[in-house]
Amino acid sequence: MKLKFGVIGTGHMGHYHVNVLSMLAPQLIEFIGIYDTDQKRASEISGTYKIKSFNNAEELMAGCDAVSIAVPTVDHYNIGKKALESGLHVLIEKPITINVQQAEELVAIAEKKKLVLQAGHVERFNGAVQELKNIVTNPVLWEARRMGPNPKRSLDVSVVYDLMIHDIDICLNVVNSPVVSVEACGQKVISAQEDVASALLYFKNGCIATITSSRVTQEKFRTLSISQHDSYIHLDFTTQDLQIVRQGSSMTTTSADNIKYRQESVIERLFVHKDNPLKCQFQHFIRTILGEEPPHVLNSMDIETMRITGKIIEKIRGK
């Protein structure tokens, strides 16, 4: 029997959820329907994908085994709790909730009811990010930058929860060592929350991470550079390109009338299987529910990501 799925919240991100679930149905799942408080939006999506729009969340949940939740972050906790308490497996967009306490509560309910709860950290399913775990062995410096122009949405939450959380999550998962100190600063520019922020994390294994995020930069890019003792790794999240620089050396030779500078290195371009990360995320969610594979990332890591994200906000706001 196929798992019955529903989507709650069909705005910018929820639309993508509907798109992916429509691709996975009917082979992998049965797509039961959607619910959005904005009836105009719900009927647009319902019409485009020929999928039933329900009058309320409860009615939709009653016919489902699993739901994905892509409502504004402040409502993740209430709707997620209702779904878990109704016995449904839940995929909630990131950030999973607005604070650690709420996240811990949802994880506890899921564990008690033996349900799968997954946070929508879609970058975890980026092919290049998956490859990182195989090549990052002794990181000493982690530099992540996620910048772009005003997205004209999600301005109700800090850029730390909107963008930086992706890099915090990947960094914690790959560096895999406790964070011993956090420094951060940020600034409001176009909204009532931080629109630019920079954080400095220091890990027990000695790795230093600098993470910068902005939603007021006129060029969009998402990049990561990692220095290790014997290699320098560069990842572009947008193109899923990954390259490793090794054996770097530089030399200067001076003569009476000239200075010559020479730099050499070996650059390895890694072949990464480029698939739709959101589709991979849902496929993994389904396989985890069916017991076909263990979760890529444990819920305890989701909580750690929330804890460090919260600490960065506290540092910025001087609490």
Ligand X SMILES: NC(=O)c1ccc[n+]([C@@H]2O[C@H](COP(=O)([O-])OP(=O)(O)OC[C@H]3O[C@@H](n4cnc5c(N)ncnc54)[C@H](O)[C@@H]3O)[C@@H](O)[C@H]2O)c1
Q: Does 193 bind ligand X (CB under 6 A)?
A: no
Does 80 bind ligand X (CB under 6 A)? Our answer is no
| Residue 240 binds ligand X (CB under 6 A) | no
**Smaller CB separation from ligand X, 121 or 311:** 121
Q: Which of 22, 30, 52, 72 binds ligand X (CB under 6 A)?
A: 72
Q: Which residues pair with 270 in a beta bridge?
A: 242
Query: Closest separation between CB of residue 241 and ligand X, Å?
Result: 19
In angstroms, give the least distance from the CB of 277 to ligand X: 9
Cβ–Cβ under 8 Å, residues 159 and 215: yes
Tell whether residue 41 is a contact of ligand X (CB under 6 A): yes
Q: Are strands 221-228 and 232-236 parallel, antiparallel or unpaired?
A: antiparallel
Count of residues in the chain: 319
Minimal CB distance residue for ligand X: 11
Would you give the DSSP letter of residue 249?
A: E
Site string for ligand X, 88-107 (x = CB under 6 A): -----xx-------------
CA torsion 289-240-165-212 (nearest 10°) is 170
Interface pick for ligand X out of 13, 29, 88, 226 (rule CB under 6 A): 13
CA–CA dist 53, 134 (Å, integer): 43
At 256, which amino acid appears? Answer: A
Give me the half-sphere count of Cα atoms (radius 13 Å) on the Cβ side of residue 280: 15
Residues 48-67, one symbol each (x = binds ligand X by CB under 6 A, - = not), give ---------x----------
Which chain residues interact with ligand X by CB under 6 A?
Answer: 8-14, 35-38, 41, 57, 70-73, 75, 93-94, 120, 122, 153-154
